[in-house]
Amino acid sequence: MSSSPLVLHTLALASILAISLLVVAHGNNLYQEFDVAWGEDHAKFFNNGELLTITLDQTSGARIQSKNQYLYGRFDMHMKLVPNNSAGTVTTFYLSSDTSNHDEIDLEFLGNLSGQPYILHTNLFAQGMGNREQQFYLWFDPTANFHTYTALWNPINIIFFVDGIPIRVFKNNSASGIPYPSSQAMRVYASLWNGDEWATRGGLDKIDWSKAPFIASYENYTADACLWGDSNCGNPAWLYQQLDAAGLNNLSWVKSNYLVKDYCTDTNRFPQGFPPECSLNP
């Protein structure tokens, strides 16, 4: 049986009160908000830090990581993906904790052969437990212009948005014994790397290095979030945000038209039965 809204609300309050947080943070200067974690010469900042490009070639890709760590927040990034033949490349925007039993919230964009649609690969880890993939086609060309990709993470649910349209919800069902990211600080990351062992058609389409360098662009990053470290996060609007009727309708539209893969229907991965949240989540 799923938890009632009152139970979830109580759990949310308890979680906020029990864990040390800092004030709500805002930031859109990528240079000020991020450090280059690897591939420093392949991550370039422009326009006084407002624009970032990450390049992948045969020598390296790159990854950036936020200077701050967070527990709950809404994280938005405008991204323009690798154009043309991008098969085998993986462009990412995600959150992750730096622990062995880690938590992670993933948005990974899987490259394609020219003319084929990009796939947005989403996944969630909680206390080291993953295998929660859902994949979606995008309903536009993500290489032609910047689009907004969002991860909203609060004590009630995790919601993925594309241009403000919800595509996935993962509920906090920890009262039913299902792990949920609620106690580990996470940083924000972005990267571009070689994933041709699995990324495009299960690894059948390899990177064509004659098309390198591959370039992805990032701008207008915003973290409206609770910083890890103090006791006051305030009461931001996103802290208890759930989908309303219009949001649920949009979610249904996306799943009916653009869902490619869902772990909750993957009998090959779960021949003995699907994970318990599959019968609890919308």
Q: Which of 33, 40, 50, 104 is catalytic?
A: 104
Count other Cβ atoms within 10 Å, centred on residue 18: 9
Active site residue 50: no
State the Cα–Cα distance between residues 196 and 86, nearest whole angstrom. 10
Strands 214-228 and 70-80: antiparallel
Exposed/middle/buried for residue 258 (C-beta within 10 Å: 0-12, 13-18, 19+): middle
What is the sign of the dihedral through the CA atoms of 211, 120, 108 and 250? positive
Query: Tokens 């070639």 map to which residue?
Result: 57
AA letter at 26:
H
**Secondary structure letter of residue 182 according to DSSP:** -
**Secondary structure letter of residue 201 according to DSSP:** G
Strands 157-162 and 147-153: antiparallel
Q: Which of 33, 50, 108, 277 is catalytic?
A: 108
Active site residue 104: yes
Residues with catalytic function: 104, 108
